[in-house]
Chain A
Amino acid sequence: MLPLAFTWSDFFQQVVFGLAIGAVYASLALAIVLIYRTTHVVNFAQGEMATFTTYIAWTLTANHGWSFWPAFFATIVIAFGLGAATERVIIRPFERGDPLTLILVTIALFVIFNGLIQWIWGPEQKVFLGAFTPKPFDIGGVAISRQDVGVIVVTLITVTVLWLFFRFTKLGLAMRAAAIAPVASRLMGVRVGWMYAAGWGFAASLGAVSGMMVAPVVSLSPSMLQSVLVYAFAAAVLGGIESPVGAVVGGLLLGLATTLLGAYVSFIGVDLELPVAFSVLILVLLFRPAGLLGRQVLRRV
C-alpha cells in the first residue's frame, strides 16, 4: 500500500469522518449501557431491534407519506412499546436464570429480529431519507456533510437528556434503584418488573434514534448495524458499561482511532483496523479492568 503525503485538509477530513462514525457507535453504545444499567443484561439484539424500528420509520415515510420528524417521534414511541413488550414477554421468564442463558436469549432475539426484517421487508437495501441533507459544506478544503454534523448533534442531545433523566426525574431514580438493589426497591414500593420493562423500552427508543441517524448515511439494510454493534459493544465496555458519558467518550474515541489508524498507519490498513482497535481496547482493560469511567467494585468473599 502506498503511503500518502500528509496534508492537513486530508487529516481534518479523516477526523470529521472519525467523529461522525464514532457518534454512531456512541449512540448504540448508549442503548447497551441503558439496558445494562437497569437490568444487568448485555443485549446483543440491540442493533437488530434498532434496525427493525428503523424499518418501521421507513414504512411510515416511504409507504404512508409521513415526513421525517413525525415519523421519527412516532417510531421512538413504537420502539418503546416494542422494547418493553420484549422484556415482559421474552426476557421475563429467564430473568432469574443463569446469566449465560440470558446472553443466549438476547442472541436468539438478534437472530429472530434479523430474520423478521428480511422476511417482512426483503433483503434489499431501502433508501431512507434523513432529516439532514448529505450536501457538504466546505471549510478550508475539508468537506463536512451536514448529515454527519446532524448525527453528532443528535447524539449529544440524547446523552444530555438521558443524563438529566437519570439524575433528576423520579422514574429515572427508581430505575437506577431497581437495578442496584431490587429487593430493597421492592420494599420501598418501586415496581421493579415495570422498571426493567421501562429500561428496555428506553433503550429500544435510543436504538431507534441511532438507527434513524445511520440509515440515511449507509442506506437501510437488514445488516446495517451489525458491524456497528461490535464497536458499540466495545465502546460501552471501554466507557465502563454503566456510564452513559463513558459510552459516548468510548464511541468517539473508537471512531477516531480506527479511522486515523487505517488512514495513516499504512501497515494497518483496513484489514487490521478491527484487530488493532480491539487489542488497544484489551490493553486499556488490563490497566482499568472496569473501563475508563467505570467504578472498581470491591470484591468481597
Chain B
Amino acid sequence: MKRFMLVLGLTAAVALLAVIPGALGRTQATPGVTSTNIKIGTTLPLSGVAAIYSRIGVGMRAWFSYVNARKSSVDHKRGVYGRQITLNIYDDGYQEANTVQQTRRAVEQDGVFAMLGGLGTENQLAVRDYLNQKKVPQLYVSTGLAGFADLKNYPWTIGWQPDYAQEGILLGKYVKANIPNAKIGVLFQNDDYGKQELEGFQNVVGKNAIVASRGYPRGGGSAAVTPLIPQLKASGADTLFIIATPQESYTSLAVAYKIGWKPNKIVNSVGATDTFMAVAKQIAGSPDAVEGVVTAQYLKDPVNPKYANDPQIKLYEKVMDKYAPSFPNPRDDGLFIYGMAKADTFVQALYRAGKNPTRQSLMNAVSHLTIKKDGWLIPGAKLITTPKSAFPLRYQTLSRYTNGHFTEFGNLVRTR
C-alpha cells in the first residue's frame, strides 16, 4: 500500500507540473527573418520512387546561391535587401505522413519564414489546413491542382504552374481543331490530378469522342500501365492522350510502339520533357515511338535550338555550371529550370514584400505579383496574380516533338 501511495504521490506531483503553462511566449518579430538571413523550407522526395523530383530543389538552391552572390540592380546588395536566402530541403519520400512531419519540423522546430515549392498534390493538400492555421505561407506548390488557387478560403496558399484543368482544355481544343472525328483513348492517373485534367479535356472534345479511358493508381509505375495500352489500342482509338507522371508516360509511348500501334499522341506537360522523350525513344528502339507527340508548354525549353542564344537560358546554364556542378548536362532535364524559375518568382515577390518582410507582407506581394517580362516564360507570356485569380502562370502554347526536340507551334494562349 505504501508503495502504491508513493507512486500516486509522485505521479500527482508531476501532473501538477503539467498544469503550469509550458514555454514562455517567444517574441520574435518574424520567424525565419534576421537582419542578414531569410530561412525558408521545402519538402521534396530525396528517397523512394519519386526521388527524381529532388532536382527541383537543386534548381531552386542554385538560383538562391546565385542571388546571394550577385549584386542586385534593385538595391546594389547581395541577396535580397542584403539578406541571404537559405533553403532547407526536407525529405518526405513522397509520403503524406512524412510531409506533415517534415513541414511541422520546418515551421515549429526550425522556424522557417515560408514553405516554397513543396511537391505532390496529396502531400500539399495534407499540410494546407495546417499551414493556413499557423499563418505560414505555402508558396508555389509543385502541383497544378486548381484547388491551390483559392486565396479566399486559403489565404496562405498558392500554386504556380498552369492548372491541370486548363491544360486539358487547351489540349482538347487542339484535338478538336486538328483531328476531325478523333476516336480518343485516354490513359490517366486515377487521382485528383488525372481526373481534373481529363474533365477539362472531355468538356471540350465531348464524351463520345473518348472511346476508351483507363486509369492507373498513383505511383503505379511501368508495370501498371503496360497492359493498359493494348486495351486502348483494341478499343479502336486513333488518338492516345496520356495524363501521367513521367515513368508511366514514356512506358506507354514505348509499349504503343512495340505493339505496332501508331495513334496521334498527346502527352500532358508533366510527362513530356525532352529527357523523357529520349527515354521512350530508346526503350522502344526507334524515334518513331515519340515523333509527333503534342504537348502544352509554359517555360522556355533549354533544348530547343530556338533558345540557344536566349540570355535567360544562357544565365540558367551559367548558374547551373557554377552552383550545381555535379550535374554536367542541365539542359537535358526540365526539372532544374522548373525549380530555378520558381525560385526566381519567389525572389521577385520577396522584393515586393518590402525591406522588412513579414509573412503578411509577403502574401500581399504574392497575391498581387505581376511580372510583364519574365525571362523564364515563353516569349510574350506574363506572370499575373490577383487575389481573385491566383494562377501565377497562365500562358501556355502547344508544342510538337520533331527531330529530337520540342518545337512550339500555334498561338500563345491565356488559359485563365
Contact = CB atoms under 8 A, between A and B. Distances in A.
Given A134-B285, A143-B258, A221-B247, A7 B234 contact: yes
Contact of B228 (A123, A127, A135, A270): A270
A217 interface: yes
User: Looking at A118, A219, A221, which has the most chain B CB atoms within 10 Å of its CB?
Assistant: A219
A270 B217 contact: yes
B278 interface: yes
A21 B226 contact: yes
B195 to A, nearest CB: 14
* Interface of chain B: mostly helix, strand, loop or mixed: helix
A222 B254 contact: no
Interface string B101-135: 00000000000000000000000000000000000
Contact of B260 (A127, A136, A269): A136
Contacts of B254: 134
Interface in A117-136: 118, 123-125, 127, 129, 133-136
Interface residues of B, number: 45
A124 B224 CA distance: 19
Interface in B271-301: 275, 278-279, 282-286
A285 B4 CA distance: 52
Contact of B215 (A115, A226, A258, A270): A270
Contacts of A13: 230, 234, 259
B255 to A, nearest CB: 9
Given A219-B250, A219-B283, A118 B51 contact: yes
A36 to B, nearest CB: 24
A124 B231 contact: no
Contacts of A222: 51
B223 A227 contact: yes
A263 B47 CA distance: 33
A14 interface: yes
A270 B216 CA distance: 6
B282 A127 contact: yes
B368 interface: no
Interface in B212-234: 212-217, 220-224, 226-228, 230-231, 233-234
B415 interface: no
A124 B283 contact: no
B206 interface: no
Closest 10 CB pairs of A and B: A123-B51, A127-B282, A218-B222, A134-B285, A143-B260, A10-B234, A223-B49, A143-B259, A123-B52, A227-B223
